[in-house]
Structures are given as C-alpha cells and as structure tokens.
Structure 1
Amino acid sequence: MPPEGRCAASTILNGMAPRPVLAPTPFWRGVLHFDSAKVVPWIALRNAAGVALPLAVGVAAGHATGGLIAATGALNVAFSDGSDPYLHRARRMLSASLFCGVAVLAGGLCGPHHALTVLLAAACAFAAGMMVAVGTAATDIANVTLVTLVVYSAQTMTAEQAASSGMSALGGGLLQTILSLALWPFRRYAPVRRALADLYLELARSTGSSPKVMEAPPASAQATQAHTTLEGLGRDHSIEAERYLALLSQAERIRLAILTLVRLRVRIGRDPHTEQETAILGRSLETAGRLLAAIGESLLERASISEGVDQLRALSEALRRPAGAENLAGMLRDARRQLDALAGQLASAWDLAAHTTTAGSMQFERRERAQPRALRIGATLEILRANLNLRSAVFRHALRLSACVGVGEILAHTVGWRRTYWMPMTSAIVLRPDFTTTFSRGVLRVVGTLIGLGLATALFHGLAPAGGFEVALIALFTFLLRCFGPANYGIFAVNLSALIVLLFAVTGVAPGPVIAARGLNTFAGGMLALAAYQVWPTWERSLVPEALARMLDAYRNYFQTVRDAYSNPGQSFAAELDRARQACRLARSNAEASVARLATEPGVTARPIAEVNAVLANAHRFIHAVMSLEAGLARGRPVPAREEFRTFANHVDLTLYYLAAALRGGKISAEDLPDLREDHYALVHAGDPHVERYRLSNVEADRIVNSLNTLAGEIVGRTLRSGE
C-alpha cells in the first residue's frame, strides 16, 4: 500500500509508530514513575486499622497465629478497597472476603497432597488469567485468591484447622469491609464528573455569545482539563467509565457544532431577508444552551434530566422549512445538517448523563437485569465463553499463567529450599498479559524485595521490636503499602517485604531464615515469570489497529444478522445471533486487552491511548444499541421491514466496512461515508410510529447514527482539532 494510503489509520494512532521496544529512557521512566494521583491516605489509614486490629486482639489473647490469619485476610481484601460508590464497593469487597476464605480452606485441605496442589494452583491460575476479560476488579480479586491459595497450600493443616483458618481469614476480610463502608464515603468518579460538568456548562454559556476570531474557541480550557482528568480512565473499561468517555466525545462534537452554528447565524443574519432563518437558529442555540446546562447540572447531581428530546426534534423540523433566501441555500443546508447532528449529539449526551446519576445507574441496572442473560452488556459468563479459544489474547495469557504457576509449584516441591511457596507466588504476581509490565514488575519486585528485606533486617538488629511494638510497625508498613504502593510498584514491593517479615515475627518465627528464604525464592519466581513471557511474547503497537478493525468487523457481522432478522420476520436467526454476539464479545475483549497492553509499552504517549479509548467507548454505545434491537425481536409483533430501514441498515454496514478499512490503513475520507443522519430522518418519517418495532428501531437507529458519526470523527479524522 502506498504511504498516502495509511493516512486514516495514522491519524488516530499517531504516536504509535514503531521505535526501539526497549528504549531505555521511556522504559525506565515508566519503571520509576510515581503516580501521585494514586496516593490515598484515607483509604490506607482504614486498611491499616483493619489489619492491625485482629492482629492486636490475637496477640493480646495469646492466639497470635489466629490473629495473623485474620490480619492477612484483611490485608488481602484491602486491595479491593476503593473510593467508588458504596454498593459497588460492598459487592467487590464481600466477594474478595469470600474468595479469600475459600482459598485458605482449599489450600489447607490440599496442602499435604502435592499432585493435587499443583493441579489446583494451575487451575486457579488459569481462572485468574481469564478474569482479565471481565475487568480490573475481577482480575485483582482473582490474583489475590491465587496468591492466598499458593501460600496456604504450603501449610500442613488438619481439616478442622483449615476450616477455622478459612473462617478467620473471612472474618478479617469482613472487618476490612465494614471499616471501608463505615468511614470516609467518597465517590470514585467525582473529579471526572466535575470536569465534564464544567465543560458542558461552559458549552451552554457559549451558545449565547458570538465567536471572536482573535480568541481561542469556546470551552478550550475546560476541554483540555476534561481530557487531562479522564486520562486516568485509560484502563478502566467498566460501563460507568465508558459513559464518561462517551460524554467527552459527545462534548467535542457538540462544541464544534455550536461553533459552526454560531458562525452560520452571524453570516446568515447579514442578509436582510433571512429574519425567519436567523430566528430559528437563535432559538435552536438557546434551547441547546438550556439542554447543555441541564446536562452539566445533572453531572453535578444538582438537577435531574426528565425531558428534552422532543424539543430537539422540533428544532430540526423547524429548520427544514426555511423561507426564501435562495442565494443562501448552501449556508442554510449546512445549518440544517449541523442542527440535525447537534440534535442527535445532545440526545446522546442527555441519555448518557441521565445514567451517570445514582438513580439513573440503578435504573440502568434494573433494565439490564430484565434482559435475557446473553444480551446483558456485562454478562460475565458470556464474556468468558467467548474468550475460550486460542485466538483470544486473554486465553493465551491464562494458559501462560497456569503453566508458569504449575511449574513453580513443581519446582517448589523438588528443590528442597525453605519456604519455596514464594517462588510460584512471585510468578503469579509478576506475570501479566504484556511483556513491559511483566518485565518492570519483575525488576521492581526483585529489587524492592531486597530493599525491603534489608530494611527489615535493620529494624530487627537496631530496634529488636517485640509485642505491641511489632503490631505498631505492621500498622505503619500497611499504611505505607496502601498509601504509596499504588503510586509505584517498587515502593509496594519494599513495604510488602518488610511487612511479611514482621507478620512472621509476631508468631515467633525468627526473621533471619525468613529474610534469606524470601530473597532467594522471590528472585527465582521473578526469573521464571520473565522466562515464561520470553517463550511466548506479544508486542502490541503493531496489533492495536488490527484488533480494533476486527472488533468493528465483528460488530458489522452482528448488525447484519440483526438486520436480516428484522428484514425476514418469519425466520428464526437465534443460532446466528448467538454466534455473532459471541464473536463480538471475543473481539472486544481482544481489543481492550490490546489497548491495555499498549499503554504499558515504552515509547507510547498518552494522546493515542486517549484516542483509542474514545473509539472503544463509542463502539460500546453502538453495540449497546444493536443489542437493544436484538432484544426487541422477542418483544414486538413481527411487521414487514420498511424500505427505508433496509437503506439505513445497508449504509450502516457500509460505514462499518469503511471504518475498519481506515484502521487497516485504507485511504478513506469523510466524503466516502454515507449520510446516516439523512437516512435516519427518512426512516423516522416512514411507517406508523406507533408500531412497537418501528418505534424501537427509530430510537435505536438514532443512537447508532450518533455513535458511528462519532467513530468516524475519531477514526477518519480528528474533527475537533481540524475545526480549531
């Protein structure tokens, strides 16, 4: 393909051009990077209390071992703590508590049986690897469960001891959960909501002002701040995070549409015979300003969104009947198209903002639960089923992790070293889906462990802590671990190593042998993880465009199947729909995993990551609309497909084809894409709008148009930047 044929793909993937993979400066900058935004002292304080309390009670009561097990349960569950809304946090931490208790029980029961231990650890490692497809929270819980299983399978316990240990770990986890829910009620997405609210409120104010040529475009500062704030959502692919990313994309498009409409109103108003058209544009901007202000207030939860879509449609209809001014036909046509687009964009932003409120989120969850399981956006079992094949990057990671932990367990039982369970445990912690993270974590784990062990040695030789002083030091290191550990993995490893030595010391285990054994086995486990990835590596910068293109191909095939089901109401497409839906989930999981791995590779800047995440967010909105169409097949009475629907569906199919081609380097321009907004207008005005299937397809078609037009702006050209 000639160089100019790659312009579309290079636009969105600017900054991903191949460069030396192990370029030292960016790689080591990432290794040494300290992310101050992840410093959370209030969470660390309650986590430290959750670990220290059961340990102090156990030591005071003369049952240090029981207190230690409860404290480790609290420590493991602390990694699932956060500042997100109570309900989500409670579900996550309760799940972590339960899995931690079960892991302690299972490890204690299978510990005396080496073959069973290897099989169980390998199976748990495979399950933990597959959780990458589900999300970050599930992955974190699975990894902690795996590590807990590996540690406790190295202990010799009776069935009664295993059961009581499991209950102690569960109790420690529940204590940590109670402390999290009882104190410091913060909202995870509060800064994101504030930044987006400021942007929408500033856009609302810009609708009433005239453009100034010598000044920056309206809301420039707010748009920049919103982009900066939302960069923290780069690896968060939850439905909530993608709503906020989609709101940012809509704000960018709305900003450009308002700027264009304001300028067109000024230009059209210079003609004395265009009073009616100028008045229509003025009312349109005024109404748009009110809607934007309502969206901004909703994001701040100072007001609720209840109506407005009908007003948007009325604005579009009003401008479709202009009077006179033949010499301005071109500008009026441009104004009508911009207003059509603005109506769709505002409707989309309106819907997204409504679901970000507490009430809207609960309403969305109720609607999702009412859907058939296979049609739910976050259907965990369906996502996992779609990834159970070698074409899945998640599946390959799960196999790699399972083999690595299994080999580590075998070595642990054969080398004859002390406390060899640290070898498979370190491998499980270090090994990640991408090489860069695996390598950086391996380096930081080994170096941090050695520093932490040196610190622990100095503490015991210099202070000789005992009793209550040891518990106080454990609380201190837990605080440092949870406060500063998320900001840099090296700091995490240093504090964790010192903390583990102190935890052992509480039960009377001499620190010297523990320090030596941990250092040796940590080094061996880290090298094992690096070797496992070296055998089967993956570099992402060359794979992301194809992963996104395959995702759009899968979405296109799914949409084609839904289209055929509507066009042939007498036939059953259940099997075809199920296969197409599974292919979509697999393709999306691969794309998300690819983007997450890309973000950790050296030489990749934040800008292309943000652009690719915008593609994922808007593609998610498209597929949600298509799934709603599929759900309508089971509800509405079959009716003949409108010819306008066939035209619209064919143009959607063509748009997806062009967008995938652009990602693969095809030379695609905006003029090549069909006018989906005009197709939607024709669709809405065809057939009886009171027929349920027609009404549903009209609504979902609007969402499809909006999401695909946004995707076209992200992939074919960065419309906002070109507009500036």
Structure 2
Amino acid sequence: MSWLRALKATARSGLTVERRRLEPLVALRAAAGLALVVGASLALFGAGVAVSSAFGAFQAAIATFQRSWRPRPTLALASGASLAVSTFLGYLTGTHLALFTALLALWTFLSGLAWATGPATGVIASSNVAIMLVTVTLPTSVADAAAHAGMIAVGGLVQAALIVLLPVRRWGAQRDALADALAAEADYARRLRDDPYAPFDPVPLMTARSAAAVTPRQARRRPGELHGARGLAERIRPVLASLADPAVGVPREGPQRDRVRELLAAAGTVLDTAARTIRQGHAAPLPPGVLTALRTPDTGDVLTGPARRAATRLAALLEDVVETATPTDRADAGELRTRPSLWELLPGALHAVRRELRPASPVFRHAVRVTAVTTGGYAIGTALPLGHGYWAPMAAVMAMRPDFTQTYSRCVARFCGTLLGVALATGVVQTAHPGRWTSAALAVVCAFGMYLLMRTGYAVAQVCVSAYVVFLLGMGGTEWTQTVPERVVLTLLGGVLAMVAYALYPAWETPRLRTRLADWLVADGRYAAGVVAHYADPAARGTGAVRETLLATRDARVAWQEAVERAAHEPVRHRGLSRAAAADAGDALAQFGRVAMLMEAHLPPRDATPLPAAADLADALRHATERAAKDLRERRVPRWDEVRDAVARWDAATVPDPVVRNGAHLLLEALEGVSEALSGRD
C-alpha cells in the first residue's frame, strides 16, 4: 500500500464513529464525581487547586473506562496516585528547563514501555504524562505543589468511593464478556447449518476467560451464574463443529443432515437465551419445545456413530448451560481462576518490560519515538512565541501508539476533534462570557459527554475533551484568546511530529508476518500433537496439557490476525509474504487447528484401548511443525515428508473411530495447504 493510500485509510479509520452500547449511568456517576471535586475545591481553595483536582478526577474516571478486569476503584486510585506523583515531581524540576526535560524524557520513556504490560496500563501512563505537562504550570511554590498533588489524589479517591457507594450494574463487564462468548457460539451454531466449515473467532472465548479470573475477595461476591457457563461454552464449541462436519459426521444432504440442522438451530436458541439471562442478571424465557427438540427420542434412530455421540453430548451440555446461567444467590463452589493483586503482578510486569528492551521490539521503538517527540515538541513549543507550549507534546503523547494505524488515525482524529471542540467552546465563551462557576459547570457537562461517547470513536471524544480543557482553564482565569489559537497550531505541530517520527523510526508489522505465522504453526503443531498423543496412552495422560496448548494456539492465532490487520494499512511492501499467500496460509492453519479440535472432541476415556501408532504421529507433527516454522522464518517452503510417512503407518494400524481415522489425513491435508499457499507466491 502506498503512503497516500495508507494515510487515506488511517484517516478514515480515525474519523469513524462506532456504534457501541452506551452506559449513561456510569458516565453520569463519573461526571458527578468530577462535579463534586471541582465544586468543593473551587469553594474551599480557589480556582488553581480546583483545576488540578479536576484533572485528577477526570483522569481517574477515564482510567475506569479502560478495558481491564481489575476492580474499577483500584484503577481510579492507581490513576490518581500516579498522576499526583508525576505532577509533584514535575513541579520540583519545572523551573529548570534542562532538568524538567530530563524528567519528562524519563517519564515518557517509562510510559512508552508500560505498553508491554497491556493497553490499559499504557493509556493510563500516557495520560499521566500529558496531564502532567499542564498541571505543573499551576502551583506557585513547593507547598502549593504538594497541595495540588494531594488534591489530584483526592480526585481519584472520590471517583473510587463513588464506584463503591453507587454501583452501576455490578459485574457488568464480566457479564458482557461471558454473554458475548455464548452469543458468539449461538451465531456459530446457526452458521454451521448452512456452512459446515464456518469459521469461528476465538476472541470472545478468550475475553471471557480473562474476565473469569478473580481475586479471593471477588470470589466471595461473584454471582454463581458467572462461574460455570464459560467452561461449558468451551466444551460446546468442538461438539458443534463435530456435529456439523461432513468429514467426521453426517452427509451434506439427507435425513441425518436435516436432523443436524434442527439440533444446531435449537443450540443457537438455547445459547442466545443463556446469553440474555447472564447479561441482564435475571432469567430470560426459553422458547417452548427447544430442549425437547434436543432430547427427542428419534435422534438415536436417525444419527449413528460420531454424530449420535455428538448430539447426545450437545444436549447434555446445553441443559447444563440453562441450569448454570440461571441467576442464583449461592457463591461459586467450583475451581476458580485466581487473579493476582497489583503487587503480585509487579515482578511479571518488570519481566515483560525487560523482555521488550531490544531495538527490534515495537514497544521499545514506540518508547524511543514518543520520548523524542515529547521532549522535542516541548522544546519547540517553549521556544515559539505562542505560549502554552505544552499543547504540542500533550497532543503527541496522547495520540501515539506502538503501531502505525492507531498513531496516524489518532493524529488525524485528534486534530479534527480539537478544532471542532475548541471552536464550539470558544463560541460559547465569546457569546456568554461565563464566570468561574458557569465555566466549571460547562466543563463537567463536556466531561459527561466524553465519558458517554468515548467508546464511539476517538474524534468524537476529542471534541468533548477539547471543550472541557477550554472551559476548565477559563475557570482558572486563562482567557480563551490566550489558549485557543496556540492550541490549534501546537496540536497540529504535535500531530505532525508524531507522524514524522513514525515515518523515520517505524516498527512495521509487515516484515514480521512470517514470524507471526511461524509462531502460530508451532502452537498449532503442539496442540495437534497433544491431542493425538492422548490416543496413544489414554490412561496416563490428562487433558490439562491439551488445554494449555489450545490456549496457546488461540493466543498465536489472535496475534496473527491482529498483525495481518495492522499490516494491511502499512505503506510498505511485503517481504516474502504477499497478502494472498498470507490469507491462504492463515486459512490452512485455521483448518489444521479445527481438525485437531474435532479430534479433541472425541478423546477416548482412560480405559480405552491405546493406539501405538498415535505416538508416532504425535512426534511427527511436533517435530515437523517446529522445523517448518524455521523454514518459514528463513523464507523456505515447508515439507511434510515426516508427517506423510507417519500417516501412512497410521493407515496400516487399526483405528476404529472414523473421526480419529480421518483426522490424521485432514491434518496432513491442512499442512500441505500451508505449503501450497507459500509456494510460488513470494
């Protein structure tokens, strides 16, 4: 993709308004916390302290909207405390340009590295740097700076207290995650009726798994319906695929296929009803006759072999879903996924950061870029005769992300949103000449709009943020003529610096596509090998190891999909892997994982007869995929002679289960599809 086309694509994505579910009560609570902090500070301490406390409360509320399964009060407290520390240290060095620039560089570099621990931490750290650039200009003495820092921390404390005292839709994020997973499986069941090879996106299941981890304190309070349904959803997915797949189930047409379509339709209805029940917190009515259709006696007469086993297992699992999803007051009694505390996460976070301290790392390159842009933008903004030079670095640090698409789209969206927001706020200021209290009220209204609309698009949110800052600084006595023109120019400067920095020091995803594909291939190979090895010795092996390899496969697949999506918007040529080859190879690997999943759905019990040939096939799959991954990274087409020989020996053995017998051939066919996709297209 050329630079011009890439810029057009990213500009469109930055200005896109997404339609998502709004949460007006949550936004109203956040705005109420901000109003409480601003009003009390303005009445007791004056405008300067009120502005600082407003930034603290504003930032703490934004932190609670980030995609994190941490308790929201914890996020608000952490955000307020970290911003208070940043502001106080910034003020101590603010009178010495060189010393403050050094602190700014260190703080910005650390905020860039924070992306290694996740996007929520990265956003909070970047926001702290941006707001620090404004708040350090407000105090007039060290004692005053300490007071301002304290009020910033109080802002976070107030937001945390309101979340505890005025809960809105308890466990709402976890309910949504689990409901989305069940709804995704319901949609999958319906699509399988017409397309027995329909793809399934594992992201909803992965999100639900992340949401299911709780602290010991949360475990005592979590509703019972949020515990068991996720595990059932995990087990239902391979059963649905096994029931629909003609290669291991029933023919494409005929009475058996008609019965399978009825079962899949009933499964979709049950899963959708369970999703609504969990999302709403009260039982949704199940259409009459659905469970009866699943339990109808003629299933055993119509379906035979693996299809009959899959239908029987599906009916049992769906009944468990209905029972588990019913709201109950009892506490969870089963095994829990434990979420470590913030202190327990610290060693892992430090290890993640150390792992990214290498020149080729996208996170490290982002940290270097954002540090150079922030310090350079601050120096340029200070030198220009515009005043308020912090707008340029603030715009840059808020817009920059580790990847090209988000950085460029956010720069465009930020400038457009800033221009509109400043224009609207300026018109109000010029027309009405609001006083302190009116300016404070208008700032709170803008903040409410930001909280309400922040998930509908970055440009829309920036309109509210820009107006919020204009009214807030106006409350502090800064005239609009002193801020608006400079902010527009300096915001544009910050966006241009961010774009130029990425062009000069990029971290393209396109050259790493082969590595991402190789990682997915290795993960898929280990998963398939683990499944097949279970047939070799059913009594000695549990399914725990298979489960871990499945989770690793999902992670690798999602990383590949995200990489392909980012690479599609990058203005660089492919280096050894065209888009067509990447798409075909990805489809083949998805099919490979799908076949392994079908074989997992028919794992033998512990007392089953071992299949010695399975051990040979498992070793061949593991070794061949690891060697093929090396070939992929070195731009060679993988060969599968070892797997082909193992499948031939597999055919010579006695494999009674048709799913298992056909599965080996389907695995080999999918691997050959990977090689076919890579050959002749580089």
Opposite residue 151 of structure 1, the aligned amino acid is V
- Identify which of 477, 481, 489 aligns with 2:446: 477
Task: Report the equivalent of 2:74.
Answer: 91
Report the counterpart of residue 218 of structure 1 in structure 2. 193
Q: After the TM superposition, which residues 379-528 of structure 1 pair with which residues of structure 2 at under 5 Å, given as runs?
A: 379-528=348-497
Contact 1:659 1:712 in 2 (8 A): no
- Look up the equivalent residue of 2:82 and give its one-letter code: F
State whether structure 2 residue 514 is matched by structure 1 residue 546.
yes
Q: Which residue of 2 aligns with 1:184?
A: 168
Contact 1:84 1:189 in 2 (8 A): no
Q: Equivalent residue for 1:101?
A: 84
Q: In structure 2, what is the equivalent of residue 143 of structure 1?
A: 126
The answer to whether 1:53 aligns with 2:36 is yes
Q: Does structure 1 retain, via aligned residues, the 8 Å contact 2:69–2:211?
A: no
Structure 1 equivalent of residue 243 of structure 2: 258
User: For residue 653 of structure 1, what is the aligned residue in structure 2?
Assistant: 623
Q: Distance in 1 between matches of 2:309 and 2:642?
A: 19
Once the two structures are superposed, what CA deviation does each residue of 1:420-442 show, in whole Å capped at 9, x if it has no partner? 11121112112222233222222
Give the structure 2 partner of residue 211 of structure 1: none
Alignment length, in residue pairs? 572
> Within 5 A, what are the aligned runs for 1:4-19?
none
Do 2:56 and 2:80's aligned partners in 1 also have CA atoms closer than 8 Å?
A: yes
Does the 8 Å contact 2:52/2:148 carry over to 1? yes
Distance 1:554-1:262 versus aligned 2 partners, 3 A rule: closer
How far the C-alpha of 1:512 sits from its partner, in A, is 1.3
1:39-78 to 2 correspondences below 5 Å: 39-61=22-44, 63-78=46-61
Paired with 1:117 and 1:588, the residues of 2 have a C-alpha distance of 43
Give the secondary-structure state (helix, strand or coil) at the position aligned to 2:17: coil
Q: How many angstroms apart in 1 are the aligned matches of 2:397 and 2:672?
A: 37
- 2:179 aligns with 194
Structure 1 position 495, deviation (Å): 1.9
1:266-277 matched pairs, under 5 angstroms? none
- Residue 210 of structure 2 is matched in structure 1 by 239
- Between the aligned partners of 2:268 and 2:39, the Cα distance in structure 1 is 54
Q: In 2, Cα distance between the equivalents of 1:660 and 1:245? A: 36
| Structure 1 letter corresponding to 2:623 | D
Q: Which string of whole-angstrom CA distances, capped at 9 and with x for unpartnered residues, describes residues 268-293 of structure 1?
A: x99xxxxxxx9xxxxx9999999999
Instruction: For residues 446-492 of structure 1, give each alpha carbon's deviation from its aligned partner in whole angstroms, at most 9, with x where no partner exists.
Output: 23222222222211121111143222211211112222243222222
Q: CA deviation at 1:168?
A: 0.4
C-alpha contact 2:446 2:464 (8 A) present in aligned 1 = yes
Structure 1 residues 337 and 675: CA distance shift in structure 2, 3 A: farther
CA shift digits 1:45-92 (9 cap, x unpaired): 222212222112223335222222111101111211239798532332
Distance 1:91 1:44 in 2: 18
> How many Å separate the matches in 2 of 1:418 and 1:530?
23
Structure 1: tracts of 5 or more residues without a match: 1-17, 207-215, 271-277, 279-283, 304-330, 563-583, 623-641, 683-701, 718-724
Q: Which residue of 2 aligns with 1:168?
A: 151
Kindly provide the amino acid, as one letter, of the partner of residue 33 in structure 1. T
* Counterpart code for 2:407: T
Distance 2:140 2:558 in 1: 40
User: What residue is the counterpart of 1:36 in the other structure?
Assistant: 19
Deviations 1:649-703 (A, max 9, x none): 5532324544776797847899957989x99xx9xxxxxxxxxxxxxxxxxxx9x
- Whose RCO is larger (CA < 8 A, sep 6+)? 1
CA distance in 1, matches of 2:390, 2:433: 27
Q: Does the 8 A contact of 2:34 with 2:58 survive in 1?
A: yes
Question: For residue 508 of structure 1, what is the amino acid of its counterpart?
Answer: G
TM (normalized to structure 1)? 0.62
Residues 358-369 of structure 1 correspond to what in structure 2 (within 5 A)? 363-366=335-338
Distance 1:286 1:237, change over 3 A: closer
Structure 2 CA distance, aligned partners of 1:247 and 1:515?
56
The AA in structure 1 aligned to 2:622 is V
Change (3 A) 1:108 1:646: farther
Instruction: Tell me the alpha carbon deviations over residues 618-656 of structure 1, each in whole angstroms, 9 at most, x when there is no partner.
Output: 99xx9xxxxxxxxxxxxxxxxxxx998787455323245
* Match of residue 123 from structure 1: 106
CA distance in 2, matches of 1:21, 1:247: 48
Relative to structure 1, the CA distance from residue 55 to residue 198 in structure 2 (aligned partners, 3 Å threshold; closer, same or farther) is: closer
Cα deviation for residue 163 of structure 1 reads 1.7
Tell me what 2:657 maps to. Answer: none
Q: 1:263 to 1:424 in 2, by over 3 A?
A: closer
Q: Which runs of 5+ in 2 are unaligned?
A: 214-227, 283-302, 531-552, 573-577, 597-611, 654-659, 676-682
Contact 2:589 2:670 in 1 (8 A): no
Kindly provide the amino acid, as one letter, of the partner of residue 104 in structure 2: A
Cα deviations by residue, 1:109-159 (Å, 9 ceiling, x for unpaired):
221222221122112222222222221211111111221332234455433
Partner-residue secondary structure (3-state), 1:418: coil
Query: SS at 1:163's partner residue?
Result: helix
The 5-angstrom pairing of residues 674-689 of structure 1 reads none
1:134 aligns with 2:100: no
Distance 1:668-1:50 versus aligned 2 partners, 3 A rule? farther
Change (3 A) 1:648 1:446: same
**Cα separation, partners in 2 of 1:615 and 1:294, compared to 1, 3 Å:** farther
1:334-362: per-residue Cα shift (whole Å, max 9, x none)?
Answer: x5699799999x99xx99x999x997899
Q: What is the CA deviation profile of residues 171-226 of structure 1, one whole-angstrom value per residue up to 9, with x for unaligned ones?
A: 1112122223423125225445335435657999x9xxxxxxxxx743879x89x8
Give the conservation status (yes or no) of the 8 Å contact 2:193–2:265: no
CA–CA distance in structure 2, aligned partners of residues 710 and 293 of structure 1: 35
Q: CA RMSD in A?
A: 6.1
Determine helix, strand or coil for the equivalent of 1:487.
Answer: coil
Which TM-score applies when normalising by structure 2? 0.65
- Please list, as runs of the form range in 1=range in 2, the aligned pairs for 1:658-677 lying within 5 A after superposition: 658=628, 666=637
CA deviations over 1:383-442 (Å, ceiling 9, x no partner): 222211112111111111112112223334434541111121112112222233222222
Task: Classify 1:394/1:647 alpha carbon distance in 2 versus 1 (closer, same or farther; 3 Å).
Answer: same
**1:359 to 1:391, Cα distance in 2 relative to 1, 3 A:** farther
Amino acid at match of 1:194: A
